[in-house]
Structure formats: structure tokens, C-alpha cells
Structure 1
Amino acid sequence: MLLFQLPEDVLYHILSYLDCKTLSRLSQVSKAFCHIVSRDVVWKKIAKELLNTGITRYWTDIYPHILLKDRVKIAQNWYHGVCKRATPLKWKTKLLPWLQLDGDTLFLSQAAEIRAYPLRQDCRRIQRNPIKIYSGHQADVCRFVLTESHLISGGSDGKIMVHGRRSESPMKLFGHNQEVNCIDSKNELIISGSRDQTTQIWTLTSNCRRAVIPLYDRVWSVAINPALSSFVTGTACCENFSPLRMWDVERLECVCSLGSGFRRGAGVLDMVFETPFHLFTCGYDTFIRLWDLRLSPHKNVMEWEEPHDSALYCMQTDGNHMIASGSSYYGVVRLWDKRRTECLQFFQLSSDPVSSPVYCLCFSCSHLYAALATALHSLDFRHNLNITISNGVQDMAVCTQDMAADCCLIIDGFLVLS
């Protein structure tokens, strides 16, 4: 019996013991092996250990339409910082842009408008002409958030706009007295924070404001817990209050403060709930912090420090091992592996003498997009992969620079030669 004639469960169990390099060589042996090795079940265990493959710590698959084998290949470039840089969009006036990526569409705020740019299917480049423009603010858009049915934005005019993603007429909420610095929405609930030192809670279905919570400090960031039981506010830390506070959604009361000993001005600029129990925060104190909300009292269990002592304006996680952060100087984007405290890779996107912060970033399996004051930058991690061709089947080698060597291996007593 040949190896690939074994029952599938037995064969997959054998393949589960192989590493990336061996699987890549095995796929060169024949078309039959290439077909077997290309299946997701073979790569799932390996993918969970790598950066940005779309497999979260709880085995959720974020990109089910992309083969795991292909994602594992690209993950090697994320880890080693191999990418192709581009500047797909530029503008003359300095702005404070915000980004959201939804499938094949990139949403970018530019002045008082939010533009939806399609990503080309062939090479994932951005088309320069937007397919839709969301407007209605009388001043610049500060933040916006996407839901399945709506795009909700807050502007420096103090207003909150609710745009239906499939309808044309937006709905305007009265909003704040000053600019809306942050906004989040989940399951018809809207939380906004403003320079006017208040947080407001809205219900989307009834188009009415439920409550106004005075925080006595500028509110820079808000995040709703995925369990919808609470939300967290991050303030400028200019008063004698903790910048991080958790609130109950139903009672609208402060449940607790996160951390202590923050120095004055150590405001929280961005926060991300990775799970209902894990919260990531970053800001002016140059640290990314991971908070475990299951502990009592709640405390940060890990932290990563920006090595050049610059504020961190934004961050995103892949749900597993990777964090991407944007700093306040020279458009520096850093990649972090949560299993290490040191920075894994960094990319300086701007060389201007007058530096621009990375105001927002987002990423897919293969691309990272970062918005600076005058341009949108992209990093494409699909490039410069080592490519070999065997038996008429093209395949990209993973974790190896010596694919010219003889592809010989022994598996369970079988000798396999390419």
C-alpha cells in the first residue's frame, strides 16, 4: 500500500507530526501528495502557532475562504518583516484619518467624508475612485465604526451620524457639545466619548439617548465588551481619576477602575477587546497592556513597551499571537509577538522631518494598511516568497532557503523521493 492510499484519518495523523519544511517538500512529490497536503486539516496546528494566519486562540477561523497552507506561507513574511511597500493614496491637507477594513472594502475618513475604496481582487490594490461616499458632518470626522448594517461616525462638530450601509439617507444624533473623539457600537448599542468630558449611551433602534455620564476628563477611547454586559472608557488622565474605568451597561454605574499609579497625562488613546475577558490598551504612556478581567482586582498581566518612548496611537490584534501598533513619530508601525516582550519587526513609513503619527491601522491576512496625516500606506506580505516548481505544480516553499537540496524524507517506514 502506498502512503497516500492509507485511510484519511491515519494519513492526517501521520502528517500532523510534520513541520512546515517537511510538508512543503512532501507536496512536491506528486500531484496526489500536493492535493492531500493542501488541505486545511494538515496545517491547522501549525497555523495556530504562527502570526496572523487567521486562527485565533479559541480555534476560530477569521479567513475561512483562504487555504491555511497559503496563510502559513504568508505568515513567514509577517514574522521576518518581508513585504512590499506602497502609498496608494495621498492628499495635500493634513488630516487625522481613521480606517476600517471590511472584507474587500477599505473605509477611510478624509476631512468631513468617509470613503469606501474597493480592493482589487487580482492584487489587492486600492482603486482610487471610491464606490461610495458617506457625508453629513459639518467638520472633520474623528472616528467611525462599522456594523453589519450601519456606519456610525463621530465628528469634530460634536455630531454623531448613523449611515445605513445599504440606504442613502443618514440619521443624525444630537451628540456632544465638542468633538467626538471615540465611538463604538455593538448590537444596537452606541457608546461615544468626547472632549466635553462626557460619555453618552445611545440605542440605535429607538434613536434616543439613554444616558450621559460625566467623567470630568477628556474621553479618548471607548470599547464595548463582546458580551455586551459592560464597556470601558479611557480618558486623558489629566485629573485625579484612573484613566481606565469599566461601566455596567444596564445600571450605567462604574464597576471598577483598571490599574493604578498612572502618571499625569498618561491618557489611553486606543483599546481593543480581544475576548470578553481580555482587553488591550495603549496610549501616551508608551505601553501596550493586556488586562485580564477575570482577575480580582483586575490588573494587567502583560505589557509591551515602545522602545523609542513615543506615544502609541492605535493597535490591532489577530486574536492569537500578533499585535500591530502605530506610534507618534515618523509613522512607525511595529509588529509584536505576544510570547515575547521585545518588538519583533518595525517599519518606518514616513521620512519627513516633520513626523506624522500613525493615526490608525488595520490588517488582513496578507496586507497591513496605515493612515498617516497626508497618506495611506500599505504593506503587502505576499511578496518575495521562495517559489519552486515540481511536476508541473507550482508551490511556494515555507521556512526554507535550501529547496534546491534533494527532497528526501522517511515517514513511517516509507522512503519518499522528489
Structure 2
Amino acid sequence: MCGSYSTNLGDLASEVLLAIFKYLYKSDLLNLRLTCWRFNSIINLYWDKLLFQRRESFHVTNQRSEDIRNRSEKILHAFDKHRISINWKNGAYEENNYFLFKKYISCLYLEKDLLWLGRGCDIKAYERQGCNIDFHRPRHKLNGFKPSHICKFVINNDHILTGNEHDIRLYSIENEKYIFDMNLHDLDISSVDMKSELIAVGSRNNIVYLYRNNYKSNPIFCCKEVLDDRIWSVALNSTKLAVGTAANDSLTSIVVFDVNTHTSILKLDTGQYGAGILNLKWDTPQLFWSGGYDSFLRRWDLRVGQFVQSFEDPFLSVVYSFDCDFDNTCITGCESNGRAVLWDTRKNKYIQMYYLKSCHRSSSPIYSLAFDPKHLFAVTELHMNILDFSVLQGISQDYSDIFNFRIVI
């Protein structure tokens, strides 16, 4: 007769325990940590594996992509990821506002230790200090641009490409000098982009230029394309150029070019006139995001030749700006009331809305925004706004169910 055999859960191998733990809810794991030292150490060590590799990974704080890690002040511990993600979802944050004195359409770019802000005649880089910025002591300053309400710029490979009225310039951050300053007298520049050795320039007079950059002197001209509408945005990846138009004279709102053959390979539209594309951002070599006048944030797939996801602004506002973490989170900046909207790309409904305090009395679009796991940076006509979601006891401003209330008469 075989003797009875029993074993304790704590005697199982760590691999077996992990296989069991991955089926538990987060609340169960938190309680299980309190039972014994071994369970506590295993769960702490493999928290990311137990939770963050599941399909229900958190909003904003995943830090999976290289791009989001490069603009994060630090890599968060798993428990901080969980806590801060809940703050994003519940609208719990503290906000700092900085008055910028004069109305401009601004552009910003976020790095791990710097916040770049282009407005008016200047582009400046300020050191990040949590949710504080010292605007009196910029680390870098580029000036001398022609007076204009918009100065587009992009940063790539430690270089800054700027577009301002009729001029494009390339500036070396390391050497602190301009590599070239080129006048394109036939263009009224609206957008620029740079990827590796490629430069794209879009204009309000329907022309897009493509150049090859050698980082030593003036770029080499590649091709010129004339479209049916004025151009609002351009975005490059390693092999393709996406161009967003005003879509006034044609239904085509996006044209995709092959940068090697210099030919148009795809024309995309949303089915309505005036659905201009203000911003474009590549997600993968075959997928990209767009936002603009039709109130939608859309994800387009070149393999099927149409958009495969669309997220409509809750108030049908123009999507002036957006940013994404190349995982499952997007944030849009809207036309009025300084409103930003958090989206989970796995769901159809928005997760949360954030109203900037600086726009409570005077409405303004969010012209540019960027985020990392802890902060949202958003610039309006007169203010730089920084929302800090890493707070331990932030006041919740929850607008997630604003459309679920019923008025009973």
C-alpha cells in the first residue's frame, strides 16, 4: 500500500510557482506577498513577468519601446508602473503652468533630460527637473529665425532640422553650429522631417521636396512633387514618406511615396473634403498614425490601403496634436479648452480626459504635446503645462464617464 504524500505550496520550485502565479489577479498577488518571505521575493523579482507581459498591460507606463525609454527620466519599478498607471486612468495629478508672455503656435520635443520648445524666433532646450522647468536658463538656444507664428523642427542623430517661412537649417547640437542654412524661395514651409540621411520639406503651396543629407554641407536634392492641395504634415521612415494634405480640392488626404524610386505608391482618403491631416507619425514600417480636421485619430495600414483603427474625439474637436508610446497608448491634444484625451488602442472608448488649468478662462488648442510615463507636457498659445502623474496623493479629476450620465426630466 502506497503511503500518503502531501506537499506544501512553498516547497514547489520557483518555475512552478510562477506558472501558478500568472493566473492570479493583481490583488491576489499583493496579498500573497504578505504570506511569507519566499513568495514576497519571487513576486517582487518577477512582477513585470507576472503582470506586464499580460494582455492587460497598463496605460502609459509600460516603457517597452526604445523611443519611450529614451524620453523617460528613469526606468520605473514595476510597483511604480502600476501606481502611476492608475493615476493616469483616474485623472490624479498635479499641474504646473508657465506663462509664455506672447501668443505663438509652438512646437515641443521631449528627451530624457531636456525639453525642447520652438516658438516665435527661437528654439530653446530647458533642463527637466521633475515637473519643473527653469525657463530662465536654457541649456541650448537657437535664434535668428524670421519672425513667424510657427517654427517646425525635428531632432535626429544629435542634429536639429528647422523649417521657418522659406528657410531650412541643420544645426549640430554637439558642435553647437549650423551645418547649412538654405533658402527655398519658392516654398512657404509648413512642415519638415528628418530620418537618417533623408530630409522632407512640405509647403503650403502644394510642393514637397525630398533631400539626401550628408551632415557636412547643403543637402543633395532628390525629387520634387506637386500635389493637389497644400501640405500640412510630412513623416519619414527608412523607405517611405507620408504626406498629409488639406484635402480641400481633392478627397486624397494622405499620399505615400517610396523614397528610393521617388514615386507615389498609395493615396489615402477619409471620404470627405476638408479632412486635412495636421500630424503624422510612423508606428512601424507599415503602420502610421494621423490626426487632423476630421476629429479622428487614425491608424493606417499600407498593406490593406486604408485605416484599420479610428478614434473619434468625444466632442468632435479638431485633433491638433498627438503622441504615442509605440505600444498601446495615444494622447491627443484638441482644438479648444486645453483638453487632452488618453486612448487605449485596444479599446474604442477614451480612457480619460485632462483639462489644462491655463485654459479655464480662455480657450486654446493644444498645439503640441509629448509624454513620458510620469508627465504630460502640453503647450498652448500662452502657456507651457506640465501634468505630474507620479504624485502619491493627487486630486482625481475624473471625466471618464462624462457621457454616461442621463438627464431625467
TM bucket (normalised to shorter chain) is 0.7 to 0.9
The one-letter code of the counterpart of 1:232 is: A
Ranges in structure 2 where 5+ consecutive residues have no aligned partner: 1-6, 395-409
Residue 136 of structure 1 and its aligned partner are, at CA, apart by 3.8
1:169-228 CA-partner distances (Å, limit 9, x unpaired)? 112133353442211111121111111221111222062222221124211011113xx1
Deviation at 1:364, TM superposition (A): 0.2
Q: CA deviation at 1:142?
A: 2.3
The amino acid that maps onto 2:263 is E
Report deviation, 1:372. Answer: 0.3
Q: Secondary structure at the match of 1:310?
A: coil
Amino acid at match of 1:362: A
1:186 aligns with 2:198: no
Q: Deviation per CA, 1:274-333: give whole Å up to 9, x if none.
A: 1122211111111111212221xx111221111222211111122222210011111111
C-alpha change, 1:37 and 1:136, in structure 2 (3 Å) is: farther
Question: Map of 1:4-403 to 2, 5 A cutoff?
Answer: 7-29=13-35, 33-39=39-45, 40-46=48-54, 49-56=57-64, 65-87=75-97, 89-120=98-129, 123-128=130-135, 129-140=137-148, 141-155=150-164, 157-170=165-178, 171-175=180-184, 177-205=186-214, 207-225=219-237, 228-263=238-273, 265-295=274-304, 298-349=305-356, 350-351=358-359, 353-384=361-392
Q: Percent of pairs identical after alignment?
A: 28
Mapped to 1, the partners of 2:37 and 2:389 lie a distance apart of 27
Change over 3 Å in CA distance of 1:352–1:176 after alignment to 2: farther
Contact kept? 1:193, 1:222, Cα under 8 Å: yes
Q: 1:34, CA displacement in angstroms?
A: 4.4
Structure 2 Cα separation of the partners of residues 302 and 204 of structure 1: 34
CA distance in 2, matches of 1:378, 1:154: 26
SS in 2 for 1:75: helix
The CA deviation string for residues 116-145 of structure 1, in whole angstroms up to 9 with x for no partner, is: 11112xx44223321111224223352111
For the Cα contact (< 8 Å) 1:314–1:359, is it kept in 2?
A: yes
Cα deviations by residue, 1:76-104 (Å, 9 ceiling, x for unpaired): 111222211221x2211101111111112
TM-score by length of 2: 0.84
The whole-number CA distance in structure 2 between the counterparts of 1:158 and 1:34 is: 62
Structure 1 CA distance for aligned equivalents of residues 156 and 275 of structure 2? 30
CA–CA distance in structure 2, aligned partners of residues 108 and 4 of structure 1: 55
Distance 1:6-1:106 versus aligned 2 partners, 3 A rule? farther
Q: RMSD of the TM alignment (CA)?
A: 2.6
Taking structure 1 as the reference length, the TM-score comes to: 0.82
Taking a change above 3 Å as real, the CA distance of residues 260 and 106 of structure 1, as seen in their structure-2 partners, is closer
Name the aligned partner's letter for residue 317 of structure 1: C
Instruction: Report how far residue 239 of structure 1 moved.
Output: 1.4
Q: CA 1:84–1:202 in structure 2 vs 1: closer, same or farther (change >3 Å)?
A: same
Query: Quick one: which amino acid aligns to residue 349 of structure 2?
Result: E
Q: Specify every segment of 5 or more residues in structure 1 that has no aligned partner in the other structure, as ranges.
A: 387-418
C-alpha spacing 1:74/1:284, structure 2 compared with 1 (3 Å): same
Moved more, 280-289 or 166-175: 166-175
Paired letter, 2:139: I
Contact 1:315 1:323 (8 Å CA) reproduced = yes
CA separation of 1:378 and 1:8: change in aligned 2, threshold 3 A:
same
Contact map agreement 1:54 1:61 (CA 8 A) in 2: no
Between 1:36-45 and 1:314-323, the stretch displaced more is 36-45
Tell me how far apart the structure 2 counterparts of residues 214 and 358 of structure 1 sit (CA, whole Å). 30
How many residues align? The count is: 376
Aligned residue for 2:133, secondary structure, equals coil
